[in-house]
Amino acid sequence: MQSAKPLVRVGVVQQAISGNDKQKNWQESATQIRQLAQDGCRCVLLQELHSTLYFCQTEDVDVFDLAEPIEGEGHRFFGALAAELNIVLITSMFEKRAAGLYHNTVVVYDCSADIAGIYRKMHIPDDPGFYEKFYFTPGDLGFTPIETSIGKLGVLVCWDQWYPEAARLMAMAGAEILFYPTAIGWDRNDTPEEQARQRDAWQIIQRSHAVANSVPVVVANRTGFELSPTGNEGIEFWGTSFVAGPQGELLAQASTDKAENLIVDLDLQRTEDIKRIWPYFRDRRIDAYDDINKRWRD
């Protein structure tokens, strides 16, 4: 079938972070973004909390000094870059909304220095090494796609990626592509077998979102080892940024242990064609799903 919709070239930046110098980290991101734009990417995805080290390994009130308002210094830097390169740019930030009120927030630019839309992370983990509930208030904007020049983008963040409800609600609202900026990795004390199971599960669940909703999924994860601020343990981020097509097929995948970029041409006409022959939304039994709003069925 002749594609009625154009191909969309998407770029992913997988970055290693070595410190909390925001300007240095932003300049490194900008170098990769420029290269991807030069290679024809119309949309570029950065990883979760790319401005600094992953600070949620411990609970420390001084870390709140790293946060900034939506229209702060990071906004001015990345908004100007999106406008200069004429691209859709998906960025991540530690948002200071008010004193004592902070979010893990995505800011999207659409070929302009103006903000096209934001998403605040809805599912907030609280696990050893990932003490995010100490820092982030759960999002209050719901699961609403962001309108851009390349289509409706469903942007979710890291822990959100484990929840089929989040992906489904974005797709039900018309999201044509799902994006997941991410910061996830291994505990070095885990066995290689356990590490492999964790990484496989992480990729399988996201590929299943692509299948269940017949949309491409684009994932940017950080890479490299980041020592805990206490000097203990740390996280080995497992990279493996990837892009999956609307049947869950892997279109590109990065390595586990090095900074690199991905480039993929997404055929949104094919996405529509897949929806026509796999009509999951038609056959959903919405009359029988009331209990999905319960925490548990006793």
Q: Which residues are tagged catalytic?
A: 48, 121, 158
Contact (Cβ atoms closer than 8 angstroms) between residue 167 and residue 212:
yes
177 burial level (CB within 10 Å; 0-12, 13-18, 19+) = buried
- Domains of the chain: residue spans and CATH: 7-293 (3.60.110.10)
Taking residue 143's Cβ as centre, other Cβ atoms within 10 Å add up to: 22
Q: What is the distance between the alpha carbons of residues 52 and 56, in angstroms, rounded to a whole number?
A: 11
Please give the pLDDT value at position 1. 46
pLDDT digits (tens, 9 = 90+) for 99-112: 999 999 999 999 99
Backbone angles phi, psi at 72, to 5 degrees: -95, -155
Residue type present at position 102: Y
pLDDT at position 231, please?
A: 73
Mean pLDDT by runs of 10 across the 298 residues of the chain is 75 96 97 98 98 96 97 97 98 97 98 98 95 97 97 98 98 98 94 96 98 98 92 90 98 97 97 96 96 93
pLDDT at 225: 95
Give the distance between the most distant pair of CA atoms in the chain. Answer: 58
Contact status, residue 214 vs residue 177, Cβ threshold 8 Å = no
**Whole-number Å distance between alpha carbons of 281 and 285:** 9
Q: At what angle do helices 73-85 and 22-38 cross, to 10 degrees?
A: 10
DSSP 128-175: TTB-GGGT-PPPSS-S--EEETTEEEEE--GGGGG-HHHHHHHHHTT-
pLDDT tens for each residue of 17-34: 999 999 999 999 999 999
